[in-house]
Chains A and B, each alone.
Chain A
Amino acid sequence: MSWVNAIIQGILTGGLYALFACGLSLLFGVMRVVNLAHGDLATVAAYVGIGIIAVTHVPFLWSIPIVVAIMAVVGYVLQRSLLQAAITRGELTTLIVTFGLSIVIENGLLQFFTANNRGIGVGSSLISSSFSIGSGLQIAWLDVAIFGLAVVVLLGLQYFLSASKYGRLIRAVADDREAAQLSGANYQHVFGICAALAFATVALAGIAYGMTTVVSPTTGTDTILLFAFAAVVIGGLGSLWGTLVGGIVLGVSQQIGAQINISYELLAGYIVFLVVLVIRPQGLTARRSQT
């Protein structure tokens, strides 16, 4: 029964990892930007959420749309300024710039929020309780809610990309930036919208993480960025649903590893990650040139 439990917990955690990963995948798929500050931005979102709840005393659910909106605006502005300037100078520059951004954010958070762990209190509602199936299976409603959120986010992204005007432009710009310009599209604005979208998912990832556990200023690179990378690579670069597959594979591997020995949790995840890189470097959901 404990193995079944491990697998179910792993699948549910995979939803959280998919949330971590889809923004990273989107930025890479469209702009070829490997955003090394991805995890830190999620941490910032969690802290913004904590701050909003502490200052305004709104219920935690209300803080979610506010944080998402703030991060989307931050994403657009950051893309049009810093990231665009880096993109113009070449792909390597984007790595250096986002790496620098990551360091600045971490130290800024340390300065303002100290190194203490903080979490987003979900209060005692339905979502903080759990239900049990059979004897040994305890499932938290929060984990189910986050998994559901991840699926809804991916569905929403897919619908936006395939059916909306700007979604189509995002795919066109990802395919051929020059040709899109010749059709009248301001590709920098399209990039900005794509970044806003990615940062909105980053915000959800950060808040979800802050609700399930605690964040500290270094959580971004220690945990979120690494798991996001692993999920993206396992699932397949640039594939949206691949991030969910990758997240689930990563989550299940970690839980199974932990079941064998609690200290193997992270190790097992990274072993699977490496095995996938060796055997199927294009990822499990290998569909080429798919954003």
Chain B
Amino acid sequence: MSTSAAGVPEQQRAPLLDVRNLIVHHGQLRALSGVSLQVFPGEVYAIIGANGAGKSTLLRTIAGLHYPTEGQILYDGRDVTRVRPDKRATAGMAMVPEGRRLFPSLTLEENLKVGATFARSGPWTFERVYDLFPWMKERRGQKTAQMSGGEQQAVAIGRALVANPRMLLLDELSLGLAPVIVQRIYGMLPEILSSGVTVLLVEQDVSQALRVATHLQCLLEGHSTLEGRPADVTAEQVEAAYFGMGGHHAATAGAAENIAVEGSEA
């Protein structure tokens, strides 16, 4: 909302992120087989799926940490498929990576400063992040390695926000956190959205994703199995898409584990 850079009137209708038929390999293994999605400004787009479905690979490919074998990624109408991750970041894509990935030898404030080094101009200042997470102000001089998982997640979100992104990529915010903490972290989402940020998130916790999303897509073994608005899909449909149809559970679980192992290596 804040930036309609080109001044095009139909900006609202054009997707901010347009992913077309993405195929991604981890070595020999095919992690994504032709996934497409369109995220419009102001949306909260949730990718759900079981462990190893290819969710994180999708998000990492969008951020530029993997390059796809085939397919296209358009950001703000521009083809960024082969653009370096740092260039995508300075163009307004910020990612909160899986496992937080803070800089452990830096203090909290220094982590934020790194996030702000190549920031675009916008509403997110250190003060605003400290308002969002009031405990941070007093502990900004501490190394983040000593902080709890939830606190680290908050710092990771803060580090992404101070870059003033147009598009925020959130990878498994709930991973390894107590449900109360997860609730609290997702409670910040409205405030983040009200600043004009568009959110694409990956979440294993389906109920959490359904609660916040305006649009969702379910992945299974690298394929899209369901897409739509949360209001338009039934719990049965989600369950079927999440686990796969029929009695392939055992085989599916095995394959998923394989992908997960490959994925964590890469």
Q: Show the binding face of A for B, using Cβ within 8 Å.
A: 165, 168-169, 171-172, 174-176, 178-187, 289-291
Contact = CB atoms under 8 A, between A and B. Distances in A.
Interface string B89-100: 110001101000
Contacts of A172: 103, 106, 110, 114
Q: How large is the interface on B (under 10, 10 to 19, 20 to 34, 35 or more residues)?
A: 20 to 34
Contacts of A184: 86, 89-90, 117-119, 163
B86 A175 contact: no
A185 B103 contact: no
B114 A168 contact: yes
B118 A183 contact: yes
Contacts of A181: 64-65, 84-86, 89
Contact of B114 (A178, A180, A289, A291): A180
B105 A183 contact: no
B105 A182 contact: no
Q: Lowest 4 CB-CB distances: which A-B pairs, in order?
A: A184-B118, A184-B89, A175-B103, A179-B101
A171 B106 contact: yes
Q: Which of A176, A180, A182, A186 has the most CB of B within 10 A?
A: A182
A171 B85 contact: no
Contacts of A187: 86
A58 B97 CA distance: 54
B113 A168 contact: yes
A174 B110 CA distance: 14
Given A172-B103, A175-B104, A186 B117 contact: no
A183 B106 contact: no
A185 B64 CA distance: 13
Given A182-B89, A183-B89, A185-B118, A289 B103 contact: no
Contacts of A291: 105
Contacts of B114: 168-169, 172, 180, 183, 185
Given A168-B114, A169-B114, A169-B117, A182 B103 contact: no
Given A182-B89, A182-B94, A185-B86, A165 B117 contact: yes
Interface string B101-133: 111111000100111011100000000000000
A64 to B, nearest CB: 32
